[in-house]
Chain A
Amino acid sequence: MSASIRVLVVDDEEEIRLNTAAFLAYFDFDVISASSGEQAMQILADERVDVGIIDMRMPGMDGNTVILNAHRLQPEMKFLILTGSINYLMPEALKRMGMTDDHLFKKPLLDMKVLVRAINRFVSPREMDADE
């Protein structure tokens, strides 16, 4: 089982946060969610997370900062960016962490399974869930 992969969904928009979390949960990921960067930081201070799915444009702490701070707290953690911005350019700091356009997903996702595949690819190929 892939229950050991813990995913943190960070998005200020409730419907997206809810749907993303629900969809991933359906595929047996251990999903927790946060409605802001600050809340995400509180969670990460106490709990280990394998992968974060991070929205960019949020009130307060923005997605890039969340990733940088989270990376400092848990250097093993992976990140996927899910943004509605059309002109998002990945900062050099994130690229230095090894992130590429493969980690970048634009809203709206016509099929959320791309997230499932990405998580499995970046985090835990061993524990790929074959369920479709």
Chain B
Amino acid sequence: MTRTLELQQQINDLKKQLAVNEKIRMALMDRVERSIDSAGNAYSLFESNILLQEQVRSRTETLEKVNAELHREIEERKRIEKDLKRHKEELENRVTIRTAELSKSEERYRLLVETMNDGLCVLDRDGKVTYCNPRLSEMLGYPLTDMHGCQIRDFFDETNREIIEDQLAQRRKGLHAVYEIEWITQHGRKIPARMSPRPIHDDQDNFKGSFAVVTDITERKLAEAALADEKEKLAAALAEMGRMRLYLNNVIDSMPSVLVGVDRNGCVTHWNRQAQAMTGIAADKACGNPLPPIFAELKLQLDEVRASIRQRTAAKMEKVAHLVDGETHFADITIYPLVTNGAEGAVIRVDDVTARVRIEDMMVQTEKMLSVGGLAAGMAHEINNPLSGILQSIQNIELRLRPDHPRNRAAAQALGVDMGVLGTYLEDRRIPQFMRAIRDAATRASVIVGNMLNFTRKFESTMAPTSLADLLDATIELAAHDYDLKKKYDFKNIEIVKAVSPDVPKVACCRSEIEQVVLNLLRNAAHAMTDYTVDGQPPRIDLGLAKEDRTVRLAVRDNGPGMAPAVRKRIFEPFFTTKDVGIGTGLGLSVSYYIITQHHGGTMTVESEPGKGACIIIRLPVRGRDA
């Protein structure tokens, strides 16, 4: 500002000088004009005028320069002033807006604090409540006004008071971490809460107090407890399930049946121990693979499994015959479709029923024998009476034709018949031969009825410990005398080889019956070898006696023609015979079978192939039938 005034002064001075100069110039000019007239000093005057003009021009130039600078400076000044003013206005504006904003924010925080779902409490440095929000008051059941100024520790029981004291101590150290605590309401109820604390410091960083957000976690705690409970239950259920699974697996593995699980494509999903035993394939090898070929041998086609799954019906195949080590075995196969929980698949169950089928066959056999027995018992009386008539009549006829009896002679004499001539006549007409035929036929019929009655006989005969080796010797002796021209065999021609193990114990049996059986077997063997022996060898019977577990095994083997399976299956049937009519009654083997199985609780089986001899095997329990 001073500079401006200074400049103004200079400008004014210059202006005054300029005016003076002008006056001088005017006077000079006047003088010049007058001097021209006086031509004397004319030149000097001219010179002084030019010089003066030069001075004035230079001076004016300088003045104009100064003046322009001055102006620019003034302009600059004015612009600065204007800027300053604008800044100030802007500033004032901003302060106004900010102030408005601040008050709005404060309002918002207040609202937030008062309506938030969590409790909030502010404490001073001594743990006294300076503020708490309505939610906390609601949570604890105390009126807001009652809470202000209270010690925070008064809202807790002894255990939790320790926690809060500890927390306040931490706050003083500036530490803060979320923790959980249980408040006590006005009504003594416990409220578990999650605390989110912060210490408060003043501008000089002095501890001023603290605040904390209080979240009621009652529901969470309940949920947690429920969850823990659930977890426990689940764990127990899982454990139970595990046990159950183990148990079921044990059950499945212990089943006597083969159990195989398959999916809808026929791939194995389960393979129990029995399946392993039957196939020799381990479970881990079987699972995940298609059914092994052995099931094809069981005629179990995948199509049938699929059909069963599709139709959701169990399929059953009974007594499926298949070969195991060259021997015919039987299996019952059941396919159970699985329809639970959309798990499509099936369980295939295979039961080896070979033993049962054999027992059934035996039962059929026994039944046949019993039915023969029953038939015989019912018919015996009816048949025996007419047989009696025939046999007694023939005896009377024979008696009354005898020439030596006085009564016969007397009767003949009375009629004029000579007994001698009559005798000759009868012989001539072969009457005694016919009578013998009648007697023989009736006798044979009577023997058949007697044999049939063997099937009904109640055996009360006592079982005594018997050495089967001795019994064999005695029976061989008996057989040696049993030669019969009509039946075309002679034991003298048969080699009998006996092999007895040293450890064979005595067997509780009825000696006469077992003798009858063995004799029968020897006769059958001898008879079989009359026309054929294996490779034309001499006829030979091998008798074997050995201990087998709790039984004694007696084998009678011949080297005769053997028999076809069809015959083998039927040889124990009553009335089944391969011998010519009149030679066998067809009862010998079945009576033997009856004696062994029914009276002694043993078994009797046959092994034979055509052309390779036959072997009858008898197993008798060492301690008798009921042992």
Contacts and interface: CB of A to CB of B under 8 A. Distances in A.
A86 B377 contact: yes
B396 A107 contact: no
Interface in A76-121: 84-87, 106-112
A22 interface: yes
Contacts of A107: 384-385, 387-388
Interface in B361-401: 376-377, 380-382, 384-393, 395-396, 399-400
A84 B387 CA distance: 10
A86 B389 contact: no
B396 A23 contact: yes
Interface in B307-351: none
Contact of A110 (B382, B385, B391, B393): B391
Nearest to B408: A26
Given A26-B399, A26-B400, A107-B385, A86 B380 contact: yes
* Interface secondary structure of A, over-half rule: loop
B556 interface: no
B396 A84 contact: no
Contacts of A16: 385, 388-389, 392
A20 interface: yes
A111 B395 contact: yes
Contacts of A23: 392, 395-396, 399
A113 to B, nearest CB: 9
A67 B384 CA distance: 22
B446 A13 contact: no
Interface residues of B, number: 26
A23 B446 CA distance: 20
Contacts of B393: 15, 19
Given A26-B407, A86-B456, A109 B381 contact: no
Nearest to A57: B381
Interface of B: 376-377, 380-382, 384-393, 395-396, 399-400, 405, 407, 442-443, 446, 453, 456
Nearest to A26: B399
Contacts of A13: 385, 388-389
A16 B25 CA distance: 213
How many chain A residues sit at the interface, stated as a range, is 20 to 34
Contacts of A106: 384
11 contacts: A15-B386, A19-B395, A20-B392, A23-B392, A108-B388, A108-B446, A109-B388, A109-B391, A110-B446, A111-B395, A112-B395
B381 A84 contact: yes
Given A86-B453, A86-B456, A109 B392 contact: yes
Given A23-B396, A86-B453, 5 more contacts: A26-B399, A57-B381, A84-B384, A108-B387, A112-B395
With a 10 A CB-CB cut-off, give which of B377, B396, B442, B453 has the most chain A CB atoms: B396
B52 to A, nearest CB: 194
Top-3 shortest CB links A-B: A15-B389, A19-B392, A84-B384
A15 B385 CA distance: 9
Contact of A112 (B381, B386, B392, B407): B392
B381 to A, nearest CB: 4
Contact of A85 (B381, B386, B407): B381
B26 to A, nearest CB: 197
A19 B399 contact: no
Contacts of B390: 108
* Interface secondary structure of B, over-half rule: helix
A108 to B, nearest CB: 4
Given A26-B399, A26-B400, A26-B407, A84 B388 contact: yes
A108 B399 contact: no
A108 B441 CA distance: 13
B454 to A, nearest CB: 11
B399 A84 contact: no
A13 B389 CA distance: 9
B395 to A, nearest CB: 5
Contacts of A110: 391, 443, 446
Contacts of B384: 84, 86, 106-108
B588 to A, nearest CB: 20
B389 to A, nearest CB: 3
B377 A84 contact: no
B83 to A, nearest CB: 150
Contacts of A85: 380-381
Nearest to A14: B389
A99 B543 CA distance: 46
Contacts of A84: 380-382, 384-385, 388
Nearest to B453: A86
A53 to B, nearest CB: 12
Nearest to A87: B377
A109 B439 CA distance: 11
B107 to A, nearest CB: 122
B461 to A, nearest CB: 15
A24 to B, nearest CB: 10
A22 B269 CA distance: 88
Nearest to B380: A86
Contact of A15 (B392, B442, B443): B392
A108 B382 CA distance: 11
A107 B382 CA distance: 11
Contacts of B453: 86
A87 B378 CA distance: 10
Contacts of B382: 84
A85 B382 CA distance: 9
A57 B382 CA distance: 11
Contacts of A19: 388-389, 392-393, 395-396
B459 to A, nearest CB: 14
Contacts of B376: 86
Contacts of B380: 84-86
A86 B374 CA distance: 12
B373 to A, nearest CB: 10
A87 B446 CA distance: 16
With a 10 A CB-CB cut-off, give which of B385, B386, B446 has the most chain A CB atoms: B385
A68 B76 CA distance: 175
Nearest to A56: B381
Nearest to B446: A108
A57 B378 CA distance: 13
A20 B400 CA distance: 14
Given A13-B385, A84-B385, A108-B446, A26 B392 contact: no
Contacts of A112: 392, 395
Interface in A8-67: 13, 15-16, 19-20, 22-23, 26, 57
A23 B397 CA distance: 10
Contacts of A109: 388, 391-392
B439 to A, nearest CB: 8
